C-alpha cells in the first residue's frame, strides 16, 4: 500500500484530529454498555473521581479503566507493529512475530489447566510473553546484532510450537471452564479488567512507548537499509535490540491484559502511514492514537452489538476490520 | 585524508584482497576499477569503516578508523552503497535530510538552520532544488540516484565514498555527477568512486586504483593505470588503450583478441 506524502502542517492537523477523535472514542467507549450513559454524565463523572453517585462509581470502577486498557492495548500493539515493520522493512510483519502472544497463550492455557486463579493470569501472560520474546531474540542473535531473517524464522517457529501446545491442551482438556477460559483468551477480551491490571500494564507500556518514540530517528535511518543507516552513524545493532526490546515489552503489556487481539498491530501502521507518511517522527504518534481509537471503538462495539453478551474483541476486530481494510487497500489500487 | 596501509580483506577465512596500500589525498577524485567480484565494493566499505580489515589498518586524519565512534566516522566519511531502497511516503527533501543524522542527538527531532543550509546546498548541487517537495517514489531511477548523492553531500563529510554512483545515470548525468565530485574534491575534500566504465574513470579521475588477481595492481594517474598489460591481467581480456590528442586515455575491450 503506497503511503502519501504530507506537508508538516497537514501532518500536525492530522495528529490533532486524531487526538480529538481519541477523546471522543474514550467518551463513547465509557458511555456504551449494558447500561448506557449520556455524555453529560460521563463528563461530570470524569471531573469527580470516585464521586458519591452510583453513576460515578460504575464509570470509575468499571468503564474508565476498561476504555483506558483498550486504548493502551491498541496503542501498544500498533506501535510494536510499526517498530518491527520498520526494522524488518516488511509490511507483513505484526507484533506477534516475536512469539510473545503465542508464548503467553501457551502459558495461560497451562495455568488454567493447573487451576491458577484468574487474577494471576495477566502476570503469567506477561512473564511468558517477555520470556518467549527474549528467547526468540537470543535465537536471532548474530555477533552483536539481530538478524532479521533469523528473527522471523525463530518467531514463526516458536509461535507454531506454542499454538500446537495450546491446541493439544484444548483437545485433551474436557469441555469445561478451562477450555472455555483458553478460548476466551484466544478470542481476546477486556471483560473484567480494572485499575489493578491497567496500572502495571501501563507502567510497562509507557516505558515501551517512550523507547519507541526515542527510536524514531533510528527507525527513519533504517528505512534506507542497514548499511546506509550504519554509514550515517547509527549504531544499527543497538537500534535493533532497542526495537525488538520495546516491541516485546509493548506486546507483552498488551496481550497480558487483553489476550490475543490480532489485526491491530498489522494494519494500523499501514493506516498511520497513509495518514501522515512514513516519517517515524509523525507516523509513530499517529499509529499510537489510531490504534487506541480502533480498539476503544471495537471494544465499545463488542459490548453494544448483542447486549448483554460481549463478543470477543479480537474476533470482532478481524471480522469487521479486515474486510474494511481490504476494501480500502484494493479499492485504492483499482482506482 | 584516508590512508590504507597494507590492508587484507576477507570474508570469514577467505582472504580475497591482500597487501593493499594507497592514500586518498585531499583535492583528489580516485576511481576504483577492476573485474566483478575482485572486492571493489568491500574495499570501499572498509574505507567507510563498515568492513573491518583482516589485516593492516585504515587511518583517517591521523586516527585509526576503528577508534572513531559511528557518529564521528559519519561526520568524516560519507558512504553510498550501490543500490538504494525504494521509499514510500517521503519527499526528496526528507530523504536528503537523512544526511544530517550524524549531527543530530537522538532527542533533537527537527532540523536546525545549519541542517537546512546543508540540505539546500546539496539539493542545488545535484539540480534537485525544483524537486525537493516531490514524493521520492515518483522519481525516475536517475533522479533517485541523484537524491542519494545529495544525501551524501548533505552529510558534509570531507570524504565521499560512492559505489557505482553513475550506474543508473544517462551519459549527461553521469558526466555531471563526476564533474560535481571533482568540484567537491577541489574544495579540499576527497572522493573515491567505484566505476565500471574505464573511460569515465580515465576522463574524470585524478588517479585510478586498478584491482585484479587479489591485489592492487596499480594506483596512479589514468595514463599509467590504464595499461594494456595490467588491464589484461585484471580482466582476462584484451583491452586496447589509446592516448587522445587532448591527453585523455581511452580503453576499448577487444572481443576478437
CB contact under 8 A, A235 and B135: no
ipTM over 0.90: no
Q: How far is A143 from chain B (nearest CA, A)?
A: 13
- What is the rounded average pLDDT of the residues B103-114? 82
Residue B140 domain-assigned (yes or no): no
Q: How far is B35 from chain A (nearest CA, A)?
A: 23
Per the structure block, which three cell numbers stand in for A82? 510499526
Task: Name the A residues in 85-124 with CB < 8 Å from any B CB.
Answer: 89
Contact (Cβ atoms closer than 8 angstroms) between residue B234 and residue B188: no
* Burial per residue of B206-235, b for 16 or more beta-carbon CB atoms within 10 angstroms, e otherwise: bbbbbbbebbbbbbbebeebbbeebbeebb
| Closest to B208 in 3D by CA, of B34, B21, B59 | B34
Residue A75 binned pLDDT confidence (cut-offs 50, 70, 90): very high
Q: How far apart are CA A252 and CA A21, in angstroms?
A: 26
Residues B120, B122, B126, B132: what is their CA dihedral angle, to the nearest 10 degrees?
Answer: -40
φ/ψ of B58, rounded to 5, equals -120, 120
Q: How far is A5 from chain B (nearest CA, A)?
A: 5
Q: Is the pLDDT of residue A332 over 60?
A: no
CB contacts, 8 Å: B80 with chain A: 228, 231
Domains of chain A, CATH where assigned: 76-271+309-334 (1.10.3470.10)
CB contacts, 8 Å: A231 with chain B: 48, 50, 74, 77-81
Residue B31 domain-assigned (yes or no): yes
Nearest CA in chain B to A282: B109
Residue B97 domain-assigned (yes or no): no
Quote the number of domains for chain B: 1
Per the structure block, which three cell numbers stand in for B125? 548541487
- CB proximity B91 to A under 8 Å: yes
Q: Which structural domain range is residue B187 located in?
A: 2-86+158-253
Residue B124 domain-assigned (yes or no): no
Closest in A224, A277, A279 to B85, CB measured: A224
Q: Is the pLDDT of residue A243 over 60?
A: yes
- Residue B140, classified by CB atoms within 10 Å of its CB into exposed (0-12), middle (13-18) or buried (19+), is exposed
pLDDT of A35-69, one tens digit each?
Answer: 788 888 888 888 877 777 777 777 888 889 999 99
What percentage of residues in chain A have a pLDDT greater than 90? 32
Whole-structure pTM value: 0.87
HSE-CB for B131 with a 13 A CA cutoff: 22
- CB proximity B43 to A under 8 Å: no
Residue B69 domain-assigned (yes or no): yes
| Closest to B210 in 3D by CA, of B61, B52, B34 | B34
Q: How far is A234 from chain B (nearest CA, A)?
A: 7
Q: Is the pLDDT of residue B113 over 60?
A: yes
- What is the rounded average pLDDT of the residues A94-117? 84
pLDDT of A307-323, one tens digit each?
Answer: 778 888 888 888 887 88
Q: How far is B209 from chain A (nearest CA, A)?
A: 23
Residues in Cβ contact with A92 at an 8 Å cutoff, skipping those fewer than 6 apart: A266
- CB proximity B80 to A under 8 Å: yes
pLDDT of A6-20, one tens digit each?
Answer: 677 888 999 999 999
- CB proximity B182 to A under 8 Å: no
- CB proximity B52 to A under 8 Å: no
pLDDT of B12-62, one tens digit each?
Answer: 889 999 999 999 999 999 999 999 999 999 999 999 999 999 999 999 988
Q: What is the CATH number of the domain that holds B58?
A: 3.40.50.300
- CB proximity A3 to B under 8 Å: yes
Residue B199 domain-assigned (yes or no): yes
Amino acid at each position: 500500500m503506497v503511503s502519501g506524502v504530507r506537508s508538516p502542517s497537514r501532518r500536525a492537523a492530522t495528529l490533532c484530529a486524531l487526538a480529538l477523535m481519541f477523546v471522543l472514542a474514550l467518551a463513547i467507549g465509557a458511555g456504551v454498555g449494558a447500561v448506557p450513559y449520556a455524555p453529560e454524565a460521563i463528563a461530570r463523572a470524569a471531573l469527580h473521581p470516585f464521586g458519591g453517585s452510583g453513576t460515578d462509581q460504575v464509570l470509575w470502577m468499571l468503564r474508565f479503566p476498561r476504555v483506558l486498557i483498550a486504548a493502551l492495548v491498541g496503542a501498544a500493539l500498533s506501535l510494536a507493529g510499526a517498530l518491527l515493520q520498520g526494522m524488518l522493512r516488511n509490511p507483513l510483519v505484526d507484533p506477534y512475530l516475536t512469539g510473545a502472544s503465542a508464548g503467553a497463550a501457551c502459558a495461560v492455557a497451562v495455568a488454567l489447566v493447573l487451576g491458577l486463579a484468574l487474577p494471576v493470569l495477566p502476570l503469567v501472560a506477561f512473564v511468558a510473553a517477555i520470556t518467549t520474546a527474549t528467547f526468540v531474540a537470543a535465537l536471532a542473535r548474530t555477533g552483536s546484532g539481530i538478524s532479521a531473517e533469523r528473527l522471523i524464522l525463530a518467531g514463526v517457529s516458536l509461535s507454531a510450537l506454542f499454538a500446537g501446545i495450546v491446541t493439544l491442551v484444548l483437545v485433551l482438556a474436557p469441555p469445561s471452564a478451562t477450555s472455555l477460559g483458553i478460548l476466551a483468551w484466544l478470542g481476546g477480551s477486556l471483560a473484567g479488567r480494572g485499575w489493578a491490571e491497567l496500572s502495571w500494564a501501563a507502567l510497562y507500556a509507557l516505558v515501551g512507548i517512550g523507547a519507541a518514540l526515542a527510536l524514531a530517528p533510528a527507525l527513519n535511518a533504517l528505512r534506507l537499509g542497514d548499511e546506509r543507516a550504519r554509514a550515517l552513524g547509527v549504531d544499527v545493532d543497538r537500534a535493533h535490540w532497542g526495537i525488538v526490546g520495546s516491541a516485546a515489552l509493548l506486546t507483552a503489556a498488551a496481550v497480558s491484559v487483553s489476550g490475543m487481539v490480532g489485526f491491530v498491530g498489522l494494519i494500523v501502521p499501514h493506516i498511520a502511514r497513509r495518514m501522515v507518511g512514513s516519517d517515524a517522527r509523525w507516523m509513530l504518534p499517529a499509529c499510537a492514537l489510531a490504534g487506541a481509537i480502533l480498539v476503544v471503538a471495537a471494544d465499545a462495539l463488542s459490548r453494544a452489538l448483542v447486549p448483554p453478551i460481549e463478543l470477543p474483541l479480537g474476533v470482532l476486530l478481524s471480522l469487521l476490520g479486515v474486510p474494511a481494510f481490504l476494501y480500502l487497500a484494493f479499492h485504492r489500487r483499482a482506482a | 585524508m584516508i590512508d590504507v596501509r597494507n590492508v587484507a580483506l576477507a570474508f570469514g577465512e577467505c582472504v580475497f584482497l591482500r597487501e593493499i596500500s594507497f592514500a586518498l589525498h585531499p583535492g583528489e577524485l580516485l576511481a576504483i576499477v577492476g573485474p566483478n567480484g575482485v572486492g571493489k565494493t568491500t574495499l570501499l566499505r572498509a574505507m567507510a569503516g563498515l568492513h573491518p580489515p583482516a589485516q593492516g589498518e585504515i587511518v583517517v586524519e591521523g586516527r585509526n578508523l576503528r577508534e572513531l565512534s559511528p557518529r564521528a566516522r559519519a561526520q568524516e566519511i560519507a558512504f553510498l552503497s550501490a543500490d538504494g531502497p525504494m521509499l514510500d511516503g517521503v519527499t526528496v527533501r526528507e530523504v536528503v535530510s537523512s544526511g544530517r543524522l550524524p549531527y543530530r542527538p537522538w532527542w533533537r527531532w527537527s532540523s536546525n538552520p545549519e541542517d537546512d543550509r546543508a540540505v539546500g546546498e546539496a539539493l542545488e548541487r545535484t539540480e534537485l532544488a525544483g524537486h525537493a517537495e516531490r514524493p521520492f517514489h515518483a522519481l525516475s531511477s536517475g533522479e533517485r540516484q541523484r537524491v542519494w548523492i545529495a544525501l551524501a553531500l548533505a552529510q558534509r563529510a570531507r570524504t565521499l565514498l560512492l559505489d557505482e554512483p553513475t550506474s543508473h545515470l544517462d551519459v549527461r548525468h553521469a558526466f555531471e555527477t563526476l564533474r560535481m565530485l571533482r568540484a567537491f574534491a577541489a574544495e579540499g575534500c576527497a572522493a573515491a568512486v567505484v566505476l565500471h566504465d574505464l573511460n569515465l574513470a580515465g576522463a574524470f579521475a585524478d588517479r585510478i586504483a586498478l584491482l585484479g588477481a587479489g591485489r592492487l595492481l596499480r594506483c596512479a594517474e589514468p595514463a599509467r593505470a590504464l595499461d594494456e598489460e595490467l588491464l589484461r591481467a585484471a580482466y582476462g581480456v584484451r583491452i586496447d588503450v589509446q592516448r587522445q590528442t587532448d591527453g585523455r586515455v581511452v580503453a576499448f575491450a577487444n572481443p576478437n583478441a
